[in-house]
Amino acid sequence: MATYLVDLSPSDMQRRLGDALSVYVDAMRYPRGTEDQRASMWLEHTRRPGWKAVAAVQLGDADNGLHDGAQRSLTEAELATASMLGVAYGYCGAPDQWWQQQVVSGLQRSGADRMRIAELMSSYFELTELHIHPRAQGRGLGEALTRRLLAGRAEAYVLLSTPEISGEANRAWRLYRRLGFTDVIRGYRFVGDPRPFAILGRTLPL
Ligand SMILES: CC(C)(COP(=O)(O)OP(=O)(O)OC[C@H]1O[C@@H](n2cnc3c(N)ncnc32)[C@H](O)[C@@H]1OP(=O)(O)O)[C@@H](O)C(=O)NCCC(=O)NCCS
């Protein structure tokens, strides 16, 4: 079976939303049913300025390689039937977004000065979701999707949030550190979620 990295248009995301949300729920080990709570938000995100999504999909080709969709673009029919192994998306941060408001308040509380906050917030890509299905993890797909998603972005920074894990001992943390992400805020509690999160970031290009 061959694995392909592809860009998803907003209508691709709409068509494959159920599969993308399944990857997300299985990867995060969230309870079944979480998909239904997230569906409308993921669709709303496709309309945000600078939205981009990428996916890793598997086709029943003879070889076992990893292919970049830039070299051989999949037909609509292939994309519609391929099984989804991973998905990632993000968009350009803006002041009317809840996430930006949370991050600004976290930065203020952590003592960051106004210049630093303005510098970070004026031009960043929010890496909103990145998930590889558990059966496809540990093959470098997460890194490959991240690189594809961030390639050619015009923003000065990329920012993301990830749950705090003792000793940073999981694949997400290893990936972000390997890609050069550094601490922006640690131990942040978003309104409505009891878990502490880290906000990580780095300059672009990657
Ligand atoms: C975090 C996540 C996206 C990382 O994706 P991934 O494909 O599993 O991992 P990476 O792309 O970083 O691959 C690195 C691993 O693949 C291995 N690998 C195998 N072939 C590789 C290749 N050609 N290139 C790079 N790494 C390769 C590396 O050795 C490494 O293994 P290790 O983590 O055991 O050291 C994924 O594990 C995931 O979805 N986790 C659950 C959900 C989650 O935490 N999402 C992020 C929330 S913010």
Buried b (16+ CB within 10 A) or exposed e, 25-60: bebeeeeeeebeebeeebeebbebeebbbbbbbbee
pLDDT, residue 62, reads 63
Atom 32 (ligand 1): residue with closest C-alpha?
138
On the 0-12 / 13-18 / 19+ scale of CB atoms within 10 A, 6 is buried
Amino acid at position 113, single letter: D
d(CA 122, CA 127): 16
Per-residue CA distances from 79 to 23, 104, 115, 116, 182 (Å): 16, 39, 45, 42, 35
d(CA 206, CA 201): 11
pLDDT, residue 68, reads 82
Q: Which residue has the tokens 């037909």?
A: 75
Share of the chain above pLDDT 70, in %: 98
pLDDT in tens, 129-182: 999 999 999 999 999 999 999 999 999 999 999 999 999 999 999 999 999 999
d(CA 46, CA 188): 26
SS (H, E, C) 76-101: HHHHHHCEEEEEEEEEECCCCCHHHH
Is the model's pLDDT at 40 over the cut of 90? Answer: yes
DSSP tag of 206: -
Q: Which residue has the tokens 């860009």?
A: 7
Nearest to 4 by CA among 72, 50, 62, 100: 72
* Average pLDDT across the chain, whole number: 95
pLDDT-based confidence at residue 74 (cuts at 50, 70, 90): confident
pLDDT in tens, 77-119: 888 889 999 999 999 999 999 999 999 999 999 999 999 999 9
d(CA 90, CA 130): 9
Q: Is the CB of 3 under 6 A from ligand 1?
A: no
What amino acid positions are annotated as catalytic residues? 176
Mean pLDDT value across residues 42-55: 98
Domains along the chain?
A: 2-203 (3.40.630.30)
pLDDT, residue 48, reads 98
Residue 163 tokens read as 């749950």
Is the model's pLDDT at 49 over the cut of 70? Answer: yes
Using the mean position of ligand 1's atoms as its centre, give its distance from the Cα of residue 66 in Å. Answer: 14
Q: Is the CB of 141 under 6 A from ligand 1?
A: yes
pLDDT, residue 60, reads 83
Q: Is the CB of 171 under 6 A from ligand 1?
A: yes
